[in-house]
């Protein structure tokens, strides 16, 4: 033991909370609808139980978005890939794929948290169905929670995550 303790982020705590709640099939069904404005109210009981202020969209939306993705994924543990790596892993050409780049550019063009959450929804489905690296929902939640106040930094982090793999591949000796 190193003597250092890892303090769990709010995102990590929420992911653990949601993964446990998704063991109940009925609750998982409600959570799968959390990122749809017409049905998100079905997830409010669970979000409120975690201490989310439902009246503040900048707080509620990131949690609802991540809860829906986790519930749809049917995973028992969280992944370890940032959104950039997870997105690139969906394509054979990785971050050299024009489709992957177009999807990243669309995400980076988001001007609001609401728009980012809306654009992420189909990306979650893509990553879950075609991605080779499971998404780190806790990290993404922590990033989305800061998006409202520091969007440029978060978008730069997503772009760096997406393009980093090409840089690492180019630096490896052949």
| Residue-wise pLDDT tens digits, 127-141 | 998 888 899 999 999
Q: Note the pLDDT of residue 170.
A: 44
Question: Is this model's pTM higher than 0.75 or not?
Answer: yes
Q: Above 60 in pLDDT, residue 165?
A: no
Is residue 171 within 8 A of residue 101, CB to CB? The reply is no
pLDDT at 132: 87
- CA–CA dist 85, 64 (Å, integer): 22
Q: Are 136 and 124 in contact (CB under 8 A)?
A: no
What topology does CATH give the domain 10-171? Peroxidase; domain 1 (1.10.520)
Tell me what the mean pLDDT of segment 62-89 comes to.
93
Give the DSSP letter of residue 7.
Answer: P
Q: Are 162 and 107 in contact (CB under 8 A)?
A: no
List Cβ neighbours of 137 (8 Å cut-off, separation of 6 or more).
Answer: 11, 15, 66, 69, 70, 78, 79
Please state, in angstroms and as integers, the Cα–Cα distance from residue 80 to each residue in 27, 77, 85, 118, 136, following that order. Answer: 25, 10, 10, 22, 4
Phi, psi at residue 173, to the nearest 5°? -70, 145
Q: Average of pLDDT values for 112-140?
A: 93
The pLDDT of residue 126 is above 90: yes
- Using left for φ > 0, alpha for ψ between -120 and 50, and beta otherwise, residue 60 falls in alpha
Average the pLDDT over each of 47-61, 136-150, 157-171 and give the range with the smallest value: 157-171
Exposure of 49 in the CB half-sphere (CA atoms within 13 A): 13
Q: Is the dihedral of CA 66, 27, 39, 103 positive or negative?
A: positive
Residue bearing the bigger pLDDT, 88 or 171: 88
Mean pLDDT, the chain, whole residue set: 89
């Amino acid at each position: 033991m190193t003597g250092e303790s890892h303090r769990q982020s709010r995102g990590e705590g929420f992911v653990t909370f949601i993964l446990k709640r998704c063991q109940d099939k009925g609750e998982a069904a409600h959570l799968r609808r959390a990122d749809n404005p017409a049905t998100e109210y079905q997830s409010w009981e669970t979000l409120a139980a975690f201490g989310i202020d439902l009246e503040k969209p900048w707080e509620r939306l990131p949690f609802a978005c991540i809860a829906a993705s986790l519930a749809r994924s049917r995973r028992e543990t969280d992944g370890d890939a940032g959104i950039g790596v997870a997105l690139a892993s969906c394509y054979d050409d990785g971050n050299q794929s024009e489709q992957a780049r177009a999807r990243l550019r669309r995400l980076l063009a988001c001007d609001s948290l609401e728009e980012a959450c809306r654009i992420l929804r189909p990306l979650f489905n893509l990553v879950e169905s075609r991605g080779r690296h499971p998404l780190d929902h806790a990290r993404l939640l922590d990033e989305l929670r800061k998006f409202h106040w520091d969007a440029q930094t978060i978008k730069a982090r997503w772009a760096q995550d997406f393009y980093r793999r090409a840089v690492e591949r180019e630096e490896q000796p052949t």
